[in-house]
């Protein structure tokens, strides 16, 4: 191959490699910036004053309350209790327990509460644990959250006490309760046979910075290799022609 053509091809390939790897590094930085913005929004919501039952009932769009702290008063709808299966915690298999709370006051609103987690029995997987449910008006503390994330499931929404996922519109129709589009993740000490060691949300910003460093490192390596082999060795370190002594 002609030396000039070879040099041109290597130059073009190096430029493409640097552009691609640098672009991927910039993309990872933009992803990190987006996640940081979302984290800042979550932190701002968490810093707001604690919501009351009246605040929740009076909100036209409950989704605007996400991530806020709440202290709600109401009565449990103990008959409308479901267990979401295949929800591990600390490496153990178990259920996520969901129960509606009928909010105190006028307006007739109810919110789904993620009351906590319970382990699942291995001998009889259909045996449901007993959930202690206080009667009368109760006060709970928690954090406004989206419904639990869906797991892959074959077929349509399921019914019954044990379910794979929460289909909120379906459950609303089943119970006849005015369920809001949000849930409350109950916090506080583990009680009533329930574990409430909820995992801390981690958006993975550090991973994006790590990936960005790797891509920028590759781009730098391509440049260094090109400069060394195609410029330094080619024009400065190549052996000189010598004429033998007569």
DSSP string over 103-132:
ESSTT--EEEEEEEEEE--SS-TTPPPP--
What are the pLDDT digits (tens) for 65-119?
A: 999 999 999 999 988 999 999 898 888 889 999 999 999 987 779 999 999 999 9
pLDDT at residue number 92: 87
Quick one: what percent of the chain has pLDDT higher than 90? 63
**So what's the pLDDT on residue 117?**
94
CA distance 5 to 11: 10
Higher pLDDT, 245 or 112: 112
- 3-state DSSP assignment of residue 229: helix
pLDDT for 246: 44
**For the residues 37-53, what does the mean pLDDT come to?**
92
Q: Which pLDDT score is estimated for 171?
A: 92
- Whole-angstrom distance, CA of residue 167 vs CA of residue 184: 16
Q: Is the predicted pLDDT of residue 235 greater than 80, yes or no? A: no
How many residues does the structure list for the chain? 246
- Write down the mean pLDDT value for the chain: 89
* pLDDT tens sequence across 114-156: 999 999 877 776 788 888 899 999 999 999 999 998 887 666 6
Domain assignments of the chain as residue spans, ordered by start = 3-42+204-236, 49-186
pLDDT at residue 241 in the model: 60
Which pLDDT value is given to residue 107? 73
Distance separating alpha carbons of residues 145 and 45, to the nearest angstrom: 11
- Residue 52 is predicted with a pLDDT of 94
Q: What pLDDT, on the 0 to 100 scale, is given for residue 193?
A: 83
Give alpha helix (H) positions in the chain.
Answer: 3-46, 53-58, 168-175, 205-226
Instruction: State mean pLDDT over 181-206.
Output: 87
pLDDT band at 243 (very low <50, low <70, confident <90, very high): low
More confident residue, 233 or 223: 223
Q: Residues 182-186: what's their mean pLDDT? A: 95
- Among 95, 5, 111, smallest CA distance to 62 is for 111
Share of the chain above pLDDT 70, in %: 93
Q: Does 40 or 1 have the greater pLDDT score?
A: 40
Q: Report helix angle 3-46 to 205-226, nearest 10.
A: 160
Neighbours of 196 (CB within 10 A): 18
Please tell me the predicted confidence (pLDDT) of residue 154: 66
CB 19 within 8 A of CB 223: no
* Per-residue confidence (pLDDT) for residue 122, from 0 to 100: 75
């Amino acid at each position: 191959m002609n030396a000039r053509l070879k040099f041109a091809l290597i130059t073009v390939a190096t430029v493409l490699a640097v552009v691609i790897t640098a672009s991927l590094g910039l993309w990872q930085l933009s992803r990190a910036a987006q996640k940081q913005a979302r984290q800042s929004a979550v932190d701002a919501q968490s810093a707001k004053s604690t919501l009351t039952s009246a605040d929740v009932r009076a909100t036209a769009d409950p989704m605007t309350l996400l991530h806020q702290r709440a202290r709600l008063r109401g009565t449990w709808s103990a008959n409308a209790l479901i267990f979401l299966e295949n929800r591990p915690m600390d490496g153990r298999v178990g259920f996520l327990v969901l129960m509606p709370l009928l909010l105190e006051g006028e307006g007739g609103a109810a919110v789904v509460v993620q009351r906590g987690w319970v382990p699942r029995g291995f001998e009889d997987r259909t045996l449901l644990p007993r959930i202690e449910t206080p009667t009368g008006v109760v006060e709970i503390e928690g954090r406004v959250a989206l419904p639990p994330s869906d797991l892959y499931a074959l077929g349509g929404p399921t019914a019954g006490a044990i379910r794979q996922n929460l289909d909120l519109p379906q459950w609303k129709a089943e119970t006849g309760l005015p369920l809001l589009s949000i849930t409350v993740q109950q916090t506080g000490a583990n009680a009533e046979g329930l574990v409430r060691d909820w995992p801390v949300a981690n958006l993975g910003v550090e991973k994006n910075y790590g990936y960005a460093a790797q891509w920028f490192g590759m781009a730098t390596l391509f440049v260094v290799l090109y400069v060394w082999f195609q410029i330094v060795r080619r024009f400065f370190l190549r052996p000189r022609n010598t004429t033998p002594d007569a």
